Amino acid sequence: MLSSIGINNIHKIARKLKENPCNIVITTHHKPDGDAMGSSLGLYHFLKKYHHHITVMPPNDGGKYLHFLPAHDEVIFFEDNPEQGKNLLEQADIIFSLDYSQLSRVNEMGDIIRTCKATKIMIDHHIDPQPFSDYQLWDEHAASTCELVYHFIETLEDTDKIDATVATCLYTGIVTDTGSFRFPATTPHLHRIVAKLMETGMKHHVVQEMLFNNSSFNRLQFLGYCLSNKLKIIPEYRTAYIVVTREELEQFNIQTGETEGLVNYALSVEGVIFAALIIDRTVKVKLSFRSIGDFPANEFAGKFFRGGGHFNAAGGESEDSIEITEKRFLNALHEYAHILCPPGKNI
């Protein structure tokens, strides 16, 4: 694990965290997903045991599907009240940055975090981390930030403080970031961590119910519509993609977070190794990319759509119209023809 939380450093942080209650703000990336909220709230419930004053503050809400997480109702969204958020950051003794390592991922909060006086601790698994924090627990091979939070607690020699509440949060991030244990980063070691989480009495089946059996009727109809009318396959490039217009989002009353997972249906088509979801959001067009095997989704996102992410799961954006963005996407595929359509491999 590449990490600059060495053994000496960890003693310093451990002393700070274990001896005196202090003001802590836990931040995570905008539109937080299951790993972002799970790691933030998991760490929150763990640190509460040391009587700190803690605020979990993402830039904005990632969606209703994560509101079941314990203490989610205490989360403050920076963009709802930037003045209050700024004060909290400026008065913090410690700021955690979870599931992100570039300040652009937290929108306007980034500049405040950069300049405020707090000790900054970054725990993350995204590539190309920026050097804005005092301590880093960073591993691009970790399947989720929740796994790294578990290691953080382990390094503090505090795993006995992981109760069912902490475990529920960490399990949520592990399940969502591994695609329910399907992605290659899922290791025997990760399963051992999950076993430990389950031993707390955490109700894993309830988490699964809340995450995956909790769709609104609208969302399911929208899904059916996308699969019937919007899914396009390009066999020669082993690519599938879905384009969603603003009118369609309105027609089905689709809320933030409700398009989560849609891109995986495109990827699940037999023979497809690269999938994209292109959505016309209010200000920009947003793109999500997923791949299987050796197609670098993050490089593709960075090269053509000012984005990035993990090798097999990345995102980007475009300020062009949805029609032009789709054309640019199709043109961009040509540049990756050597990976997408090696001789004899089209479907």
Nearest partner of 245 among 206, 298, 187, 285, judged by Cα = 285
In terms of DSSP bridges, do strands 313-318 and 308-309 run parallel, antiparallel, or are they unpaired?
A: antiparallel
Q: Which is nearer to Mn ion, 177 or 260 (CB)?
A: 177
- Extended beta strands in the chain, E state: 23-28, 53-56, 94-98, 119-124, 135-138, 231-234, 239-244, 274-280, 285-291, 308-309, 313-318
Question: From the CB of 265, what's the least distance to Mn ion, in Å?
Answer: 21
Q: Which is nearer to Mn ion, 33 or 61 (CB)?
A: 33
Q: Which is nearer to Mn ion, 27 or 145 (CB)?
A: 145
Q: Which is nearer to Mn ion, 126 or 238 (CB)?
A: 126
Burial of 150 (0-12, 13-18, 19+ CB in 10 A): buried
Please give the residue ranges that form the binding site for Mn ion (CB under 5 A).
35, 99, 145, 177
313: amino acid identity, one letter: A
Question: From the CB of 215, what's the least distance to Mn ion, in Å?
Answer: 22
Question: From the CB of 305, what's the least distance to Mn ion, in Å?
Answer: 20
Q: Which is nearer to Mn ion, 61 or 99 (CB)?
A: 99
In terms of DSSP bridges, do strands 239-244 and 274-280 run parallel, antiparallel, or are they unpaired?
A: parallel
Question: From the CB of 20, what's the least distance to Mn ion, in Å?
Answer: 30
Which residue is nearest to Mn ion, using beta carbons?
35
| Under 8 Å between Cβ of 13 and 139 | no
Query: How far apart (Å, rounded) are the C-alpha atoms in residues 234 and 276?
Result: 12
What single DSSP character describes residue 199? T
Question: From the CB of 236, what's the least distance to Mn ion, in Å?
Answer: 33
Q: What is the DSSP string of 153-193?
A: HHHTT-GGG--HHHHHHHHHHHHHHTTTTTSTT--HHHHHH
Question: From the CB of 147, what's the least distance to Mn ion, in Å?
Answer: 9
Question: From the CB of 34, what's the least distance to Mn ion, in Å?
Answer: 8
Q: Which is nearer to Mn ion, 34 or 110 (CB)?
A: 34
CA atoms within 13 A on the CB side of 218: 10
Q: Which is nearer to Mn ion, 239 or 259 (CB)?
A: 259
